[in-house]
Amino acid sequence: MTEHSFNLDDVDAVLFDLDGVITPTAVVHMRAWDKMFNEFLATRPGQAPYTEQDYYDYVDGKPRYEGVRSFLQARGIELPDGSPEDPPEADTIGGLGNRKNALFTKVLADEGIEAYPGSVRYLDELAKKGTRTAIVSSSKNARDVLATAGLLDRFEVIVDGIVAAERGLPGKPEPDTFADAARQLGVPNSRAAVFEDAISGVRAGRAGGFAHVVGVDRGAGPQALADAGADVVVADLAELLPRQ
């Protein structure tokens, strides 16, 4: 990877996305979306299959029902909103989101999840330096994922999909969830860095005027992350550790 200018001395806090940045759960989400959307599309004649690119373009990083809505809109499919309480069988935005969530939570419970080793080493480095940390995730499963990976106590603040819904904060690509985490930490946006693997999340970091937006390339592509506003792109957080 190229040399970059990100220096931890420039910031007092790091605001991390979770899925795909700290834990490899982006892949679990991707597979669950793939199965749900492809089974759904199979019932709709004339629709091409849902692809990995569809995930990156319409679903990645967004809150659950916004991901459903965004993809269906791209395919010109109209479904009633229904509600988050809809059963998974319902052909509504709520039902489809919950159908995917049942698949995600089953894999998490059956297989568990381990954090990226480079991310854990980076968290160790931040703890050593006294840099404050928060998780800012669109996912309502963020706390379960962190607990399963044994990392719940590593973050001072967690703004997840549940907190965002309770507070009425708009999801990524809007910057509000990141700004809320910085505010809770008492750190101005100009002294906080955002770490993101999703285009929607990088856009949120850029829109919020944060000190740095670090793009973590787990599949979105370095150019796409840079184009969305990442000022540094790495393939793994270990690249940002000081040279021994």
Ligand X SMILES: O=P(O)(O)OC[C@H]1O[C@@H](O)[C@H](O)[C@@H](O)[C@@H]1O
Q: How many helices (H) and strands (E) does the chain have?
A: 10, 6
Build a one-symbol-per-residue string for 110-139: x at contacts with ligand X by CB under 6 A, - elsewhere.
---------------------------xxx
DSSP state letters, 23-56: BTHHHHHHHHHHHHHHHHHTTSTTPPPP-HHHII
- Contact call for residue 140 and ligand X (CB under 6 A): yes
Q: Catalytic residue at 160?
A: no
The footprint of ligand X on residues 45-74 (CB under 6 A) is 59-61, 63-64, 67
Nearest approach, Cβ of 186 to ligand X (angstroms)? 25
The footprint of ligand X on residues 141-160 (CB under 6 A) is 141
- Contact call for residue 198 and ligand X (CB under 6 A): yes
In eight-state DSSP terms, residue 169 is P
Residue among 131 and 137 whose Cβ is closer to ligand X: 137
Backbone angle region of 214, left / alpha / beta, with phi > 0 → left and psi within -120 to 50 → alpha: beta
Nearest approach, Cβ of 232 to ligand X (angstroms)? 20
Select which of 9, 10, 19, 60 is catalytic. Answer: 19
CA gap 167, 219 in Å, rounded: 31
The residue ranges of DSSP E strands in the chain, in sequence order, are: 13-16, 132-136, 157-159, 192-196, 212-216, 232-234
Q: Catalytic residue at 197?
A: no
- Contact call for residue 217 and ligand X (CB under 6 A): no
Query: Residue 192: helix, strand or coil by DSSP?
Result: strand
Rg of the chain taking only CA atoms, in angstroms:
18
Residue among 12 and 200 whose Cβ is closer to ligand X: 200
Are 196 and 179 in contact, with CB atoms under 8 Å apart?
A: no
- Contact call for residue 229 and ligand X (CB under 6 A): no
- Contact call for residue 94 and ligand X (CB under 6 A): no
Enclosing H/E stretch for 181: helix 176-185
Binding-site member from 13, 14, 26, 204 for ligand X (CB under 6 A): 26
- Contact call for residue 161 and ligand X (CB under 6 A): yes
Positions annotated as catalytic residues are 17, 19
Binding site for ligand X (CB under 6 A): 19, 26, 29, 59-61, 63-64, 67, 101, 104, 137-141, 161, 198
